[in-house]
Amino acid sequence: MDKRLKTGLRPRPKIALGGVAPDSAASKLSPSPASRPSVMQAPVLVLNATFEPINVTAVRRALVLMLKGVAQAEETNHAQVHTTQKAMQVPSVIRLLTYRHIPQQSRALSRKNILLRDRNTCQFCGDALPASELTLDHVMPRSRGGRSSWENLVACCYGCNNRKGDRTPEEAGLKLQRRPRPFTLHTSRQLMRLIGHRDEKWRKYLFY
């Protein structure tokens, strides 16, 4: 199903524009002894030049953007990483120095993005599960004209998928947790809030 979903759909645009090559810069970064190895994968909020929140990335990628002069840190935490020349505070929020136009629909239709939109939760029974224990279900079966679209695809556990079979949810005695919608900027903001709810530094950029 994944190959069919991705065929003919435009890829998700990336923040890193203008020849930013992460590999060479990333190779110069190493966590300080006081920081945990996982610090490089911690989430960082990305703001546009206008302070509009547009994405969440990992610390390693955020540091690469800073080293390349593409972004600057607006908020930092207590951990440090070291380059070959200096120590850097680990960012919590970064801001792009040049404005980037973000299309209204910036995510491609794919299994990964459907699961992200549905928060890795079966849309019939409500169980939150690892991605490996979830599949995608066509609300209106393809055999009955259902399309592979944002509005007709939901995350589903294998148990509910088998129970539903080639029927509509109503026919199978199942009820959708919520109506499936496209992945919009509003959806992205909701996910940013969920990811950053423990970091008070994010709040003034997201909770307004």
pLDDT in tens, 59-79: 999 999 999 999 999 999 888
Give the pair of three-digit tokens for residue 161: 């998928």
Give the pair of three-digit tokens for residue 12: 């998700």
- Residue range 119-173, pLDDT digits in tens: 889 999 999 999 899 999 999 999 999 999 999 999 999 999 999 999 999 999 9
- The yes-or-no verdict on residue 6 having pLDDT over 50 is no
pTM: 0.55
Confidence label for 22 from pLDDT (cuts 50, 70 and 90): very low
Pinpoint the residues of the chain covered by CATH 1.10.30.50.
111-172
In the prediction, which pLDDT does 36 show? Answer: 52
In the prediction, which pLDDT does 203 show? Answer: 85
Q: Minimum mean pLDDT among 83-87, 105-109, 159-163: which range?
A: 105-109
In the prediction, which pLDDT does 67 show? Answer: 93
C-alpha distances in angstroms, 21 versus 26, 89, 95, 107, 164? 9, 21, 18, 22, 46
Q: Under CATH, what is the fold of the domain 111-172?
A: DNA Binding (I), subunit A (1.10.30)
Q: In the predicted model, what is the mean pLDDT of the chain?
A: 81
Q: How far is CA 76 from the centre of its chain?
A: 21
Task: Spell out the long-range contacts of 163-168 with Cβ–Cβ below 8 A and sequence spacing 24 or more.
Answer: 164/124, 164/137, 166/141, 167/141, 168/139, 168/140, 168/141, 168/144
Average pLDDT (14-30) is 49
In the prediction, which pLDDT does 15 show? Answer: 44
What DSSP string describes 54-68?
EEEEEHHHHHHHHHT
β-bridge mates for residue 31, sequence order: 81
